[in-house]
Amino acid sequence: MITKLHSAGLRGVEAVEVEVEVSSPGRGIPRMTIVGLPDAAVRESAERVTSAVCASALPKDDGAITVNLAPADLKKEGPSFDLPIALAVVACAEGVTLSRAEDCQIIGELALDGSVRPVKGILSAAIEAKSRGRKRLLVPSENASEAAAVTGIEVFGVSGLRQAWDFLRGEKMLEPAVTGSLLHAGKDSYSVDLAEVQGQKHVKRALEIAAAGSHNLLMVGPPGTGKSMLAKRIPTILPGMTETESIEVTRVHSIAGQLVPGAGLLRSRPFRSPHHTISNAGLLGGGSNPGPGEISLAHNGVLFLDELPEFRRQTLEVLRQPLEDGAVTISRAAGTLTFPSKVLLVGSLNPCPCGYFGDPSRSCSCSLRQVEQYRHKISGPLLDRMDLHVEVPLVDFKQLSSRVPAEKSSKVRQRVRECREQQRNRFSESPGTRVNSEMSPEEVRCFCEMDPESSHLMEQAMTRLGLSARAYDRILKVARTVADLEGSERLLSEHLLEAIQFRSLDRKLMG
């Protein structure tokens, strides 16, 4: 007898439906053979399935059992096929057809005692099941709320193999899982606030512009000026995620195995701050079984690289293309995988190795050669991709001890939300553009038209600062965001001046 059930495997952030076929003729040497390009975790499924079936007091043929995972040319990874394999093995032994399984996708890892454990990538699997026209999804109970975020398909969570068997046989009823209500615009779930940072008014202005247009930001200043503190508060001024953004973020974190079981969709924008010792694969993604890196885990959020020159130059250079494309492409012999990487990149650095070059109150112990070598760890092409450069000075005693309340994140977030709404309306007919930083060259020419005064101002800046064509475009994009924050449809010279001042570090950093 041959039993067929439907499951799913992962390929990047996407899921691919996999058909689980089990043949059990009831004779031959007792063994279970799994074919269809299984990895080690899938091959070991035979032992887990055998033990789980016995522990659940369910029947199993004593002869040779063959398990085929189709399509045969797709590599199968992970333990998520345990549950459908076990159910198909029992169905073969019973000689029955599981009618409830015909339009059902089944995913889950089995423990030796027959209990079902959570697996990665359930949200992607639910999206794939819906696209295939499946009506039901049978998953581990701890993954049920995550899968239930996909509407139009019933999700049933099970905690054990026997429970799953009884449900598919129609002997037991289960209630479909539901997920919590999705995001509320303006919902503040952060434990930090921008008001906790005293002083640094011009830096906060740069943060607001960066958040409003999703512009990359570089902060330069000596130790102890609050660069990390400011960066960690950028998510608090970003608008809440839309349903689409929440699903995109949750899919990536689910595939990486970083979701808390039973948590459902992620609601807060991610903030990732990897250590400078991180590898290329850790930052970009990859590995033997390619998974998302830090830049993809920060998708629709903030990627903060503290002490930027301490990162290996090669590691920083791999960020250049993903920052432009908004996606990471990883090529292997078996195929090409793509992970999303639309991030707001924030970097910080000291002006020199000791941190006090140019400081009026402390002397620098670095030689000019050391300062030059330190600054040149950041390449020109990467610096070009940083839209805003802002110096973060030391805060004096008067500002630190001031009792005048600073502006709260909620007020800044309201202005950022209104600015983003303008951009959403502006780009309503451009599906690939959501914010000003993503404008194409054609859109820059259309929405960033300069008057003669502004054009002359831009020409002077290009000449004096030696700016590249990419920097030219980015200045116009930042100026467009400044104008949006001011509620201006036209791009005025004062908007352009503010954008240009945030490129003043080009000459200083590049010598």
Per DSSP, the residues of 443-511 read HHHHH-PPPHHHHHHHHHHHHHHT--HHHHHHHHHHHHHHHHHTT-SS--HHHHHHHHHTTTHHHHHH-
pLDDT given at position 504: 66
Which position has the higher pLDDT, 447 or 290?
A: 447
Would you say 312 and 373 are in contact if contact means Cβ atoms under 8 Å apart? no
Give pLDDT tens digits for 351-395. Answer: 888 888 877 778 888 888 888 888 888 888 888 889 999 999 888
194-198, 320-324, 328-332: range with lowest mean pLDDT = 328-332
Q: Does residue 17 carry a pLDDT above 50?
A: yes
Distance between CA atoms of residues 424 and 167, nearest Å:
46
Of 42-56, 148-162, 384-398, 485-499, which range is least confident?
A: 384-398
For the cut 80, the answer to whether the pLDDT of residue 73 exceeds it is yes
How far is residue 74's CA from residue 36's CA, in Å, rounded to a whole number?
Answer: 7
Residues 6+ apart with CB under 8 A from 391: 219, 220, 221, 505
Query: Percent of the chain beyond pLDDT 70?
Result: 95
Asked if 13 contacts 46 with a C-beta cutoff of 8 angstroms, the reply is: no
Given this model, what pLDDT does residue 82 score?
Answer: 97
Could you say which DSSP state residue 360 is in? S
Could you give the CA distance from residue 73 to residue 50 in angstroms, rounded to a whole number? 26
The residues with which 155 forms a beta bridge, in sequence order, are 137
The percentage of the chain sitting over the pLDDT mark of 90, rounded to a whole number, equals 60
CATH code: domain 2-168 is 3.30.230.10
Token pair listed for 104: 């059902």
Highest mean pLDDT of the ranges 112-116, 183-187, 347-351, 507-511: 112-116
With a cut of 70, say whether residue 180 has pLDDT above it.
Answer: no
What architecture does CATH give domain 194-430?
Answer: 3-Layer(aba) Sandwich (3.40)
Q: Residue 140's pLDDT is what?
A: 96
Lowest mean pLDDT among 108-112, 258-262, 424-428: 258-262
Per-residue pLDDT reduced to its tens digit, 394-418: 887 777 777 788 899 999 999 999 9
Q: What is the DSSP letter of 291?
A: E
- CA-closest candidate to residue 92, choices 115, 70, 66, 112: 66
Q: Predicted confidence band at 333 (pLDDT cuts at 50, 70, 90)?
A: low
Mean pLDDT of 45-52: 95
- Residues whose CB is less than 8 angstroms from the CB of residue 460 and which lie 6 or more positions away in sequence, other chains included: none
Torsion of CA 45, 155, 57, 21, to 10 degrees: -50
pTM assigned to the model? 0.89
CA gap 305, 211 in Å, rounded: 16
Tokens of 499: 């954008």
Is residue 120 within 8 Å of residue 260, measured between CB atoms? Answer: no
Mean pLDDT of the chain: 89
Residue predicted with more confidence, 178 or 450: 450
What is the tens place of the pLDDT at every residue in 215-262?
A: 999 999 888 888 999 999 999 999 999 989 999 999 999 999 888 877
Q: Where are the domains of the chain?
A: 2-168, 194-430
- Residue 431 Cα distances to 67, 265, 478, angstroms: 44, 24, 21
On the 0-12 / 13-18 / 19+ scale of CB atoms within 10 A, 57 is exposed
Average pLDDT in the 47-52 region? Answer: 96
- As a whole number of angstroms, the distance between CA 448 and CA 493 comes to 12
Q: What is the pLDDT of residue 307?
A: 92
Q: Specify whether the CB–CB gap between 52 and 121 falls below 8 A.
A: no
Find all residues with CB under 8 Å of 469, minimum gap 6, and list them. Answer: none
Give residue 505's pLDDT.
66
pLDDT at 330: 87
Quote the pLDDT of residue 506: 60
Q: What is the pLDDT of residue 334?
A: 64
Q: Which among 114, 123, 163 is positioned nearest to 13, based on CA atoms?
A: 123
Q: In what order do the strands lie in the sheet with 388-391?
A: 271-272, 302-305, 344-349, 217-220, 388-391
Kindly report each contact of residues 205-209 with a partner whose C-beta sits within 8 Å and lies 24 or more positions away, as own/partner.
Answer: 206/388, 206/390, 206/502, 207/233, 207/234, 207/237, 207/412, 208/237, 208/412, 208/415, 208/416, 208/485, 209/388, 209/478, 209/481, 209/482, 209/485, 209/502
Largest CA distance in the chain: 88
> 368 forms bridges with which residues in the sheet?
none
Give me the sign of the Cα torsion angle 301, 307, 310, 314.
Answer: positive
pLDDT score of 420 more than 70:
yes
Nearest to 250 by CA among 13, 432, 80, 420: 13
Predicted local confidence at residue 290, as pLDDT:
84
